[in-house]
Structure 1
Amino acid sequence: MPSKKAWTDPPHEDQVITFSSEDLNGLQVPHDDALIVRLVVTNFDIGKILVDTGSSINVLHLRTFEEMKLGEGRLGPAEYSIYGFSGASVRVNGKIDLPVTFGTYPLQKTNLTTFTVVDIPFTYNAIIGRPALRDFGAVVSTPTSR
């Protein structure tokens, strides 16, 4: 497996991200909707990815992994158990480090991200949890008013 390190993208530390009321067009605020994103993972454009600040791991659904045609031989052992929303133990198929890209050129960042691969009934293709959010320096925020 490749070593886990951030890939070198041009730094954008001088970039300020701001939002205006125009960005809220079409949204009912305040809202508590889930944050669903589309990301590039190993050159695959994947939608329906849940950003979950409550998740201590990044999860990739086995169906999505199989559609990427990376081969189950690339999965490393996962020496831990995970528990679903119901508290029941979930069988882990393995783990894998994959490059994930947030943003679009020229304002994008790519990091090698560890995913735990599972085969459970799942609405999303993947979950981005606290580890990836930390590695990307991402902060999740929801608007409270217009």
Structure 2
Amino acid sequence: MEVRRRDPCQSVQNFSSSSAPYHTIFVFLIPLLVGVIEINNVQNRSKSLIETHLMSMCLFLLAILIYAFAYFAAMKSELQVFKAIEMISGSLCSVSLVSIILPRPYGHFSFIIWAFVLLLVAYKESFHMKIWQFWNRFGGNNQQLLPTKCVVGCPAYP
């Protein structure tokens, strides 16, 4: 039985080509918001969140499923559409959780603000590029430590 080794450069390229700054933000933000909701909900255990915030919870569950599929599709494919879907659904997850935390009238306005910011980001590609530049400068581009090409006989990857 032949064991196929995974090319290490391929995994580095997949990570660097995915929406790394957005994924890092969502991986931090979503559990944080869930924890805040759990702390706020400790006092009122008589009704579940689905009963009290049906729209927000359904949007969150749908968006988290879409986000998971889009994230893995973006890792496997170079299509930009998966990265866009990943960003939209991840931000919708966060906004849905924020709308649960905020009081009733303000929670619904968070969706309006989300739609406005989403349109702004989609319209202004330079804003998107500034996010990537910030990410590469301060936290996400550790590729200087890794070889950029895999060469047969490379000491790092024999």
Question: Which interval holds the TM-score relative to the shorter structure?
Answer: under 0.3
Q: Which has the higher contact order (CA 8 A, sep 6+)?
A: 1
The structure with the largest helix share of the pair is 2
TM-score by length of 2: 0.25
Greater CA radius of gyration, 1 or 2? Answer: 2
